[in-house]
Amino acid sequence: MRKPLGRLTRLSLRDAWRHESGEFTPWLAEPENLALLAEALGLEDLVCVATETQVGDFKVDLLCTDGADQVIIENQLAPTNHGHLGQILTYAAGVGAKKVIWIAESFRPEHAAALQFLNENTSEDLGFFGVQVELWQIGDSPPAPKFEVVVEPNDWVRAGREQARAAADASPGRRLQQGFWTALVEKAAKEAPKIRLGTPRPRPWFRCPLPRVGFAWSVRIHGRDSSLDVGLVIRGTDAARHFAALAARRAEIERGLGFDLEWQESPDAGRYRLASTLEDAPLEDESRWGEYLDWIVRRLAKMDEVLRPVVMSLP
């Protein structure tokens, strides 16, 4: 005898989440729900750094990291509108995000076309995603959310990136970087759990966003002069002003750290950095990795202790 089949019923999003900022955003910020979104988008990982983060006169719903880059997510429990399109562009510029995800109940054709235009006419490092969120039920079952990707970066761009990554992974230098960052993530998780480094990847730098737009911890490998450095990166439209505010407190900051920093300014690139460098640290000498990792984790932990409250208190 054939088993009876249920019928799928699509529900209103308001049946599950009455308020966008008060209910949907906190729900999406939970790790298991971000994992569902990451799976739909084909991303390796999505980790929430902060919710309702101020960017100019607006607040970005979710500031995340995918283990390498900053990701912003803007939610809308309604059909897309021009206002939110302007907001995601403002947020991308203000945060320096590499991936922008716009989630809505439905996408108007002109807004889907606008995201596709951006994917085709901006740099390959910047990707825009349009995601339709749906709510489904079978009979009296609990409602189940579904993320339907409406717009994503072009397939040929994604394929090119994957090919480049695969080629990079095959080189001995990239394999060393992958192994070193993996060891760093494991050590930091035990000794500095407040600093969530995300997913290690084969590249000469590692970045971890702070819960404040435009700020991130950064660790870099310099192959040419066999050195490592740990620092605070400042980007975005307010970067120069924030850097100046920190520089005004340089003596206080360095006294709290117990070591001097290099104060690096790149106004043309819109990037500023406070860094500490370990000389004579060739990555190829794996017998010394324990020494390097100890230094990095100690520096990161001390910078986080001293600089995080200063950064969070900046106007």
Q: Is the pLDDT of residue 202 over 60?
A: yes
Phi and psi at residue 277, in whole multiples of 5°? -115, 140
pLDDT band at 161 (very low <50, low <70, confident <90, very high): low
- In which element (H, E) is residue 285 found? none
pLDDT for residue 260: 95
CB-based contact 125:153 (threshold 8 Å): no
Same domain, 265 and 123: no
Counting the structural domains of the chain, the total is 2
Any domain includes 3: no
Question: Domain check: are 147 and 111 in the same one?
Answer: yes
Answer yes or no: are the C-beta atoms of 287 and 280 closer than 8 Å: no
101 and 175 both lie in a single domain:
no
- The phi and psi torsions of 170 (rounded to 5 degrees) equal -75, -20
2 is a domain residue: no
Does some domain include residue 72? yes
Within a domain: residue 1? no
* Triad 232, 236, 238: Cα angle to 5°: 95
Tokens of 314: 């900046």
Q: What does residue 26 show for φ and ψ, rounded to 5 degrees?
A: -60, -35
Query: Which residue, among 135, 158, 157, has the nearest Cα to 147 in the 3D structure?
Result: 135
- Whether residue 67 contacts residue 47, with contact meaning beta carbons closer than 8 Å, is answered with yes
Q: Mind listing the pLDDT tens digit for each residue in 25-76? A: 999 998 888 888 988 887 767 888 888 877 766 788 898 887 667 889 999 9
User: What's the token pair of residue 216?
Assistant: 């991130």
Q: Which domain holds residue 269?
A: 171-313
Mean pLDDT of the region 251-256? 95
Is 219:206 a contact under the CB 8 Å cutoff? yes
For residues 121 and 177, membership in a common domain is answered with no
- Residue 64, in any domain of the structure: yes
Is the per-residue pLDDT at 308 higher than 70?
A: yes
Question: Where residue 271 sits, what CATH number does that domain have?
Answer: 3.30.1460
What is d(CA 189, CA 284) in angstroms, rounded to the nearest whole number? 24
Q: pTM here?
A: 0.60
Question: What tokens does 159 get?
Answer: 């394929």
Domain finish residue from 107, 131, 161? 161
CA–CA distance, 158 with 288 (Å, rounded to integer): 36
Residues 133 and 181 in one domain: no
Domain boundary among 161, 195, 211: 161
Q: What is the pLDDT of residue 138?
A: 85
Q: What is the pLDDT of residues 255-271, one digit of tens each?
A: 999 999 999 988 776 67
* 142 in a structural domain: yes
Both 116 and 188 in one domain: the answer is no
Q: Give the domain CATH number at 129.
A: 3.40.1350.10
Which of 140, 161, 182 is where one domain is finished? 161
What lies within 8 Å, CB to CB, of 58 at 6+ separation is 87, 90, 91
Is the same domain home to 23 and 67? yes
Let me know if residue 257 belongs to a domain. Answer: yes
Where is average pLDDT lowest: 11-25, 142-156, 171-185, 268-282?
Answer: 142-156
